Structure 1
Amino acid sequence: MPELQLMFARQRRWMFSLLSIYVLGWGFTSYQSIFLGLVLGTSLSLFNLWLMVRKMDKFGDAVSQGKKVRSLGSFSRFATAALAVMIAMRYPEHFSLITMVIGLMTSYIVIIIDFFYFTALKIHKK
């Protein structure tokens, strides 16, 4: 599944770019709790993306070998989201809960943008 690894590398670059913008926003603006919530949510979103890619690799290997597959790891991704909510609720003076939730959704937004961008790029090359 080299295509999956290439997609993950592209998406990881997008996520790190967004994280660097959020860190700059945290450092240079007065909206520190908003940007820190985005940093927390996006960091854990990147972790969830990595978990999902790792599970999909294992899933592909198991299917090609004819083995049975247990799960794609939804519980671990939900647990990560619950951890983020617990951190944001424990320290509301540092983290904005709303922007933390937006940050958790960042990987899905990046996946959608990456899909449309490279689909349009493939169509344009033909």
Structure 2
Amino acid sequence: MKDFSLMIKQYTQYTLYLTALYVLGWGFTSYETLFLSLSLGALFSLYMLWSMYRKITKLNEAIDKGKKFFTIGTVSRLALAGLLALLAIRYPDTFNIVGLVVGLMTPYILILVHALLQIRRLSKQ
């Protein structure tokens, strides 16, 4: 489980770096709506990643103790994504739906890239 917590720390750190780049893009380019949407989506996705990590650690503890655990919070994460979609629909001049979706996918893209790099590194050994 320590490897999992280390990976979550790395994904959080990388997501925060990308969010900082999104904020810089919002402040210094003419694409304010896109970069604002990217940064808001990435921040919400960071919360979702933390929530999933917390639920999985509780699930692991419940399994170790032989207890039942019924949910890993999928509904709450879907509701949060729906809230972001409603925000983009309600304020289309401020938020871009594509930017919000890509921002929401930021940690998952990082996880995919990390996995591909690990596979490539292991295949070279």
Query: TM-score, normalised to structure 2's length?
Result: 0.92
- 1:97 maps to 97
- 1:58 maps to 58
- 1:49 maps to 49
How many residue pairs match? The answer is 125
Residue pair 1:11, 1:114 contacting (<8 A) in 2 also: no
CA distance in 1, matches of 2:119, 2:50: 22
CA distance in 2, matches of 1:11, 1:86: 27
- 1:80 maps to 80
* Identity over aligned pairs, percent: 40
- 2:69 maps to 69
Query: 1:122: Cα distance to partner?
Result: 5.0
Matching of residue 18 in structure 1 with residue 18 in structure 2: yes
Q: Any idea what the Cα deviations from partners look like across 1:23-47, whole Å, max 9, x if unmatched? A: 0100000000011110111111111
- 1:112 maps to 112
Residue pair 1:34, 1:95 contacting (<8 A) in 2 also: yes
Query: 1:123: Cα distance to partner?
Result: 5.4
Residue pair 1:41, 1:101 contacting (<8 A) in 2 also: yes
Query: TM-score, normalised to structure 1's length?
Result: 0.91
Question: Structure 2: any 5+ residue segments left out of the alignment?
Answer: none
CA distance in 2, matches of 1:110, 1:77: 18
SS in 1 for 2:93: coil
Query: 1:15: Cα distance to partner?
Result: 0.2
- 2:7 maps to 7
CA distance in 2, matches of 1:117, 1:10: 14
Report the residue type matching 2:108 in the other structure.
Answer: Y
Report the residue type matching 2:99 in the other structure.
Answer: T
Query: 1:119: Cα distance to partner?
Result: 4.1
**What is the RMSD of the two structures over their aligned residues, measured on CA atoms?**
1.4
